[in-house]
């Protein structure tokens, strides 16, 4: 029976590292034979002493060729006569760091030996833990060094030296190849790098390749995250994850900076739009709205949009609008309600979206379409405004607000995101119909909820949203702000504006609206709405300008041709067989019309000379004839003088009255007024 050495003994015999011995076994230059079983069940192997000695004799250069990555083999370590590494000599050889590491290890192990010697029963483990913690090593490292010291003496604690600590054995040209293969958008794996670049490289130079873990370590430690993100994941990921960012100090005053943005909610709601979209495979069951129709012919499932305006200092949602599409008018009305509620901001920071560039909101600055280098230069961080002169416009000038526009394609410059996520993250996922952050994280229950119609209707969601917003404003302290949003506004005196002016600046405008006998008829999102007020009756038939908020359509503002502004409420329909408000309103309107007509009649009556009013003379002829007929009749019927005198007196009185009031006279043009009066 041949004597079997352990791998460690073989390594000592051959002056090689344990790893090199394993490699020789793998390459077949040493034959491993089973020696038994380890308690953990694995077969242990040994190497025949004869084979080891044969190999050592056969190749004296083995130590150097088998471990090319190493410095001088351990047998070249300068030792003193009693077998201890000669620290001074090592320093002279340029191995100073190894010498001090050996010194450190010796001191650690000495301390451990001392402690465990004096430890009570069962205290050896505690001693190891104590020493390990004190020197920042693991307990197993302490045990290993202790064993090395006992087995191999002080020289065994010399650190194995590699090319340099933290270095790599990969040659420089291979490093470049690995980088080139690894750092691009194909996002190659380490295994691919190893099989397509490293293995062929070593095959070409007929050398043994390093282990795959060496390549993995190179990729992990020598390629910076910056490079990985930029080359492998692209520019957007770089901007999101690696580009330097500033930390902005929060404004301290509320209404200093307002930001506007849109968000698509990660949430499904039911919208009664009659289109029946979004139900997927559950479109044939009855609609949850109770109409009795199939879903595909009834309500839709949609994700609502939120247009919001946030005050950065307080994290208050000063204005918002929930809807099904992001629109300019949504932003305008969110802004309008924000200003009415919270006052006028100093700065308004808007997104680049089309909806924020509506003409009412200042339009799109020309240079924003294609920013020049000078626009971008030095403005990589927020506030990344373009020069203010580009963005002068009506509403902002009128309100004395500085408008700041986010740079295009710089999504991280939006400070509103974090506030929105802090808000929605508190409760969004607790609402039925939550879709998860993205398609991958879609909750499984969502499909069941859609199937069972367990979703909120849009108005119900608005109520939920509103309640959560109240809680946010009164209870939640966002980030480092120190107090909840509402507290910021408690003692704050905002700049305000007359609501009528604001309406003029921000509401939807409908030019050239015809006032009909039924009132002003407007249509929004397929819904017909009618508006009526008593004053409006006078302008029936007029073409007027209307400003309104289609989503808060209780009232519209009518700009009449004679420069009046009327607030006109929604009209009510009359009911069959009833005499109600609608009838009363129309009666009041008619009375106003008549009063107006009468007033105008008094003004104009007799203003025009009779000859000009009756240029043809036909009316005068008829009057003359009537007068003649009357005179003839009178002559006939009144025979006696007494009556004649009386008539003469009457005529005198009439003439006197006519001379006192020369404008007063009767023509056929006055008859219409008598009819309506």
Backbone angles phi, psi at 383, to 5 degrees: -80, 120
Cβ neighbourhood burial of 306 (10 Å; 0-12, 13-18, 19+): buried
Q: How far apart are CA 226 and CA 239, in angstroms?
A: 10
Work out the angle at residue 241's Cα, subtended by the Cα atoms of residues 239 and 246, and round it to the nearest 5 degrees: 75
Task: Kindly tell me which of 298 and 538 has the beta carbon lying closer to Zn ion.
Answer: 298
Q: Choose the stretch contacting Zn ion; rule: CB under 5 A; options: 31-39, 286-294, 436-444, 646-654.
A: 286-294
Task: Kindly tell me which of 269 and 546 has the beta carbon lying closer to Zn ion.
Answer: 269
Cis peptide before 383 (omega within 30 of 0): yes
- Binding-site size for Zn ion (CB under 5 A) equals 5
What are the tokens at 257? 């900076």
CB-CB neighbours of 123 under 10 Å? 13
Cβ 277 to Zn ion shortest distance, Å? 12
Cβ 293 to Zn ion shortest distance, Å? 6
Select from 73, 289, 358, 497 the one that contacts Zn ion (CB under 5 A). 289
Q: Choose the stretch contacting Zn ion; rule: CB under 5 A; options: 16-24, 54-62, 299-307, 470-478.
A: 299-307
Cβ 468 to Zn ion shortest distance, Å? 26
Task: Kindly tell me which of 32 and 299 has the beta carbon lying closer to Zn ion.
Answer: 299
CB-CB neighbours of 577 under 10 Å? 5
Asked if 291 is part of the footprint of Zn ion (rule: CB under 5 A), the reply reads yes
Cβ 466 to Zn ion shortest distance, Å? 23
Q: Note the maximum CA span of the chain.
A: 179
Cβ 267 to Zn ion shortest distance, Å? 19
Name the residue among 402, 370, 407 with its Cα closest to residue 385: 407
Cβ 526 to Zn ion shortest distance, Å? 15
For the chain, what's the residue count? 677
Q: Choose the stretch contacting Zn ion; rule: CB under 5 A; options: 52-60, 294-302, 609-617, 661-669.
A: 294-302
Task: Kindly tell me which of 198 and 298 has the beta carbon lying closer to Zn ion.
Answer: 298
Task: Kindly tell me which of 287 and 306 has the beta carbon lying closer to Zn ion.
Answer: 287
Cβ 573 to Zn ion shortest distance, Å? 25
The sign one gets for the Cα dihedral 619, 623, 628, 632 is positive
What are the tokens at 531? 């508006």
Query: Which region holds residue 493: left if phi is over 0, alpha if psi is between -120 and 50, else beta?
Result: beta
Q: How far apart are CA 18 and CA 50, in angstroms?
A: 18
Q: How far apart are CA 404 and CA 77, in angstroms?
A: 69
Q: Choose the stretch contacting Zn ion; rule: CB under 5 A; options: 298-306, 345-353, 428-436, 505-513.
A: 298-306
Task: Kindly tell me which of 284 and 495 has the beta carbon lying closer to Zn ion.
Answer: 284
Task: Kindly tell me which of 46 and 276 has the beta carbon lying closer to Zn ion.
Answer: 276
Task: Kindly tell me which of 271 and 338 has the beta carbon lying closer to Zn ion.
Answer: 271
Q: Choose the stretch contacting Zn ion; rule: CB under 5 A; options: 22-30, 97-105, 292-300, 387-395.
A: 292-300
What are the tokens at 477? 């302290």
Cβ 556 to Zn ion shortest distance, Å? 30
Cβ 391 to Zn ion shortest distance, Å? 45
Asked if 455 is part of the footprint of Zn ion (rule: CB under 5 A), the reply reads no
Q: Choose the stretch contacting Zn ion; rule: CB under 5 A; options: 135-143, 247-255, 282-290, 302-310.
A: 282-290
Cβ 460 to Zn ion shortest distance, Å? 14
Asked if 271 is part of the footprint of Zn ion (rule: CB under 5 A), the reply reads no
Q: How far apart are CA 569 and CA 582, in angstroms?
A: 12
Q: How far apart are CA 639 and CA 628, in angstroms?
A: 18
CB-CB neighbours of 659 under 10 Å? 8
Asked if 260 is part of the footprint of Zn ion (rule: CB under 5 A), the reply reads no
Asked if 298 is part of the footprint of Zn ion (rule: CB under 5 A), the reply reads yes
Name the residue among 119, 109, 114 with its Cα closest to residue 150: 109
Q: How far apart are CA 182 and CA 176, in angstroms?
A: 10
Q: How far apart are CA 467 and CA 462, in angstroms?
A: 9
Select from 267, 299, 301, 446 the one that contacts Zn ion (CB under 5 A). 299
Cβ 403 to Zn ion shortest distance, Å? 42
Select from 62, 67, 287, 401 the one that contacts Zn ion (CB under 5 A). 287
Cβ 276 to Zn ion shortest distance, Å? 8
Task: Kindly tell me which of 198 and 301 has the beta carbon lying closer to Zn ion.
Answer: 301
Task: Kindly tell me which of 455 and 544 has the beta carbon lying closer to Zn ion.
Answer: 455
Q: In this structure, what is the dihedral angle of CA atoms 7, 13, 17, 22, given to the nearest 10 degrees?
A: -40
Q: How far apart are CA 626 and CA 500, in angstroms?
A: 58
Task: Kindly tell me which of 289 and 344 has the beta carbon lying closer to Zn ion.
Answer: 289
Cβ 321 to Zn ion shortest distance, Å? 24
Task: Kindly tell me which of 298 and 385 has the beta carbon lying closer to Zn ion.
Answer: 298
Q: How far apart are CA 508 and CA 545, in angstroms?
A: 10
Task: Kindly tell me which of 288 and 411 has the beta carbon lying closer to Zn ion.
Answer: 288
- Find the helix or strand (DSSP H, E) in which 236 lies: helix 235-241
Residue written as token pair 């009528």: 500
Q: Choose the stretch contacting Zn ion; rule: CB under 5 A; options: 15-23, 74-82, 296-304, 440-448.
A: 296-304
Q: Choose the stretch contacting Zn ion; rule: CB under 5 A; options: 289-297, 359-367, 576-584, 599-607.
A: 289-297
- For residue 79, the 8-state DSSP code is B
For the chain, the first-to-last Cα distance in angstroms comes to 138
**Interacting residues toward Zn ion by CB under 5 A:** 287, 289, 291, 298-299
């Amino acid at each position: 029976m041949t004597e079997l050495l352990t791998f460690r003994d073989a390594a000592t015999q051959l002056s090689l590292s344990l790893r090199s011995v394993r490699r020789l076994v793998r390459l077949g230059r040493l034959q491993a034979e089973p020696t038994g079983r380890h308690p953990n069940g694995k077969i242990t192997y040994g190497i025949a002493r004869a084979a080891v000695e044969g190999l050592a004799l056969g190749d004296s250069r083995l130590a150097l060729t088998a471990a090319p990555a190493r410095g001088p083999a351990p047998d070249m370590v300068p030792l003193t006569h009693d077998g201890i590494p000669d620290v001074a000599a090592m320093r002279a050889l340029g191995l100073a760091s190894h010498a001090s590491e050996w010194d450190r290890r010796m001191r650690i192990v000495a301390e451990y030996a001392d402690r465990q010697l004096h430890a009570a029963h069962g205290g050896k483990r505690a001693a190891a833990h104590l020493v390990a913690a004190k020197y920042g090593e693991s307990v197993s490292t302490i045990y290993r060094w202790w064993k090395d010291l006992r087995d191999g003496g002080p020289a065994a604690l010399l650190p194995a030296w590699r090319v340099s600590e933290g270095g790599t054995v990969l040659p420089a040209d291979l490093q470049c190849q690995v980088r080139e293969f690894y750092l691009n958008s194909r996002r190659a794996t380490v295994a691919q790098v190893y099989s397509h670049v490293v293995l062929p490289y070593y095959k070409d130079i007929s050398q043994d390749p390093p282990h795959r873990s060496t390549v993995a370590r190179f990729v992990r430690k020598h390629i910076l995250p910056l490079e990985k993100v930029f080359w492998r994941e692209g520019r957007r990921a770089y901007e999101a994850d690696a580009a330097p960012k500033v930390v902005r100090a929060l404004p301290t005053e509320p209404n200093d900076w307002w930001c506007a943005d849109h968000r698509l909610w990660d949430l499904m709601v039911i919208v009664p739009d009659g289109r029946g979209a979004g139900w997927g495979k559950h479109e044939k069951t009855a609609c949850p709205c109770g109409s009795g129709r199939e879903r595909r012919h009834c309500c839709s499932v949609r994700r609502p949009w939120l247009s919001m305006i946030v005050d950065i200092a307080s994290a208050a949602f000063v204005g918002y609008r929930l809807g099904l599409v992001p629109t300019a008018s949504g932003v305008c009305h969110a802004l309008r309600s924000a200003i009415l509620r919270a006052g006028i901001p100093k700065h308004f920071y808007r997104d680049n979206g089309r909806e924020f560039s509506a003409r009412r909101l200042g339009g799109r600055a020309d240079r924003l379409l294609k920013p020049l280098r000078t626009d971008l230069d030095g403005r990589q961080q927020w506030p990344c405004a373009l020069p203010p002169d580009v963005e002068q416009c009506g509403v902002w000038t009128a309100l004395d607000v500085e408008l700041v526009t986010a740079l295009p394609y710089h999504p991280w410059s939006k400070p509103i995101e974090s506030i929105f996520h802090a808000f929605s993250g508190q409760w969004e996922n607790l609402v039925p119909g939550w879709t998860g952050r993205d398609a991958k994280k879609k909750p499984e229950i969502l499909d069941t909820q859609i199937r069972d119609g367990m979703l909120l209707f849009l108005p119900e969601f608005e109520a939920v949203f509103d309640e959560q917003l109240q809680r946010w404003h009164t209870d939640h302290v966002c980030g480092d702000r120190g107090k909840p949003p509402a507290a910021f506004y408690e003692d704050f005196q905002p700049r305000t504006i007359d609501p009528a002016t604001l309406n003029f600046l921000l509401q939807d405008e409908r030019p050239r609206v015809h006032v009909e006998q039924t009132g002003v008829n407007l249509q929004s999102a397929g819904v017909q709405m009618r508006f009526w007020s008593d004053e409006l009756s006078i302008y029936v038939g007029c073409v007027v300008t209307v400003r309104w908020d289609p989503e808060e359509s209780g009232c519209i503002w009518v700009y009449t041709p004679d420069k009046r502004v009327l607030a006109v409420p929604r009209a009510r329909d009359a009911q069959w067989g009833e005499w109600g408000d609608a009838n009363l309103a129309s009666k009041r309107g008619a009375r106003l019309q008549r009063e107006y007509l009468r007033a105008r009649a008094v003004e104009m009556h007799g203003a025009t000379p009779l000859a000009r009013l009756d240029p043809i003379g036909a009316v005068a002829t008829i009057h003359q004839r009537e007068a003649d007929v009357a005179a003839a009749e009178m002559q006939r019927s009144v025979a006696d003088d007494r009556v004649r005198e009386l008539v003469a007196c009457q005529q005198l009185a009439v003439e006197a009255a006519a001379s006192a009031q020369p404008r007063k006279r009767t023509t056929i043009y006055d008859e219409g007024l008598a009819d309506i009066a």
